């Protein structure tokens, strides 16, 4: 069954869960998403470099 929720309800559910967890609230990096974006671009650069080394044109087009 598809569930429906509002942002407020999600926020309240998270607050309840954090209260239940107490000291067990997970510690996570503050901004994992930002790092992922950087690493994705770095990966594409790496793939371009491998293509160049084998004489192929880069597959990924960037706006320089």
Residues in contact with another protein by the rule CB under 8 A: 1-8, 10-11, 13-18, 20-21, 24-26, 28-37, 41, 44, 60-64
- If the CB atoms of residues 44 and 51 are measured against another protein, the closer one turns out to be 44
* Distance (Å, whole) CA 5 – CA 18: 18
Shortest spacing between CB 56 and another protein, in angstroms? 19
Cα three-residue angle 24-28-34, rounded to 5 degrees: 165
Shortest spacing between CB 49 and another protein, in angstroms? 16
* Distance (Å, whole) CA 29 – CA 47: 27
């Amino acid at each position: 069954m598809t569930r429906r929720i509002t942002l407020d309800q999600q926020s309240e559910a998270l607050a309840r869960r954090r209260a239940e967890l107490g000291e067990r609230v997970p510690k996570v990096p503050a901004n994992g998403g930002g790092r992922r974006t950087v690493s994705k671009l770095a990966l594409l650069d790496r793939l371009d470099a491998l293509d160049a080394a084998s004489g192929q044109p880069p597959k990924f087009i960037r706006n320089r």
